[in-house]
Structure 1
Amino acid sequence: MALYESTPGGTYKSIAADLGINRATLREWVLRDRERRGVTTATAKPAARPREAASSADPDERVRQLEARVAELEASERKLATERDILRKAAKYFAGETNW
């Protein structure tokens, strides 16, 4: 949810594809999260704003933003690690297949 909200120009389709999940599932998660936070659809995904504006929010909101960012980065790290492992396995496979 935080990834979708924090990605300027990101669509449900593109973010869902990056995460390897169904577009409708991501949309449902985002809508539930917005409902939980009491965010209206008119203010749900504003254009990218400078980092300085985010720092002027109240401390609890800033903590929530930072926690969401940490979760986003951890998810990205897991995805990159998985991709790296797949590439390593593919490289080993293809290195064994070549008979020079």
Structure 2
Amino acid sequence: MEKYQDQMEGGFCPLLIDEEVASRMGSSKTYFSYPEEIPFKLSLTNSGAESFLFKVYHLEDPNNVITNCVLKPNERYEKVFDGFPDGDYVISYLI
């Protein structure tokens, strides 16, 4: 992310999605648009007592999964993504 710091300070605003999913069982989805050729960081923390599956995919092509992982209780996932095509994306959670 350091190599993009000047771009971010020069007027780019990072995308921040802050969401808490509180569910014993079930699923949830978060939608976001990615309009620029700048990187973004995905950080997820499982602070619950159950493991959950998450995946990120393009809204128009759900079979094109960008990342997915099972997060165990008290586990964290963090990754910087760069070079996404423009478009709408989904982060889905399944507990």
- Higher Cα Rg, which structure: 1
Q: Specify which structure has the higher proportion of helix.
A: 1
* TM-score category (smaller protein): under 0.3
Q: Specify which structure has the higher proportion of strand.
A: 2
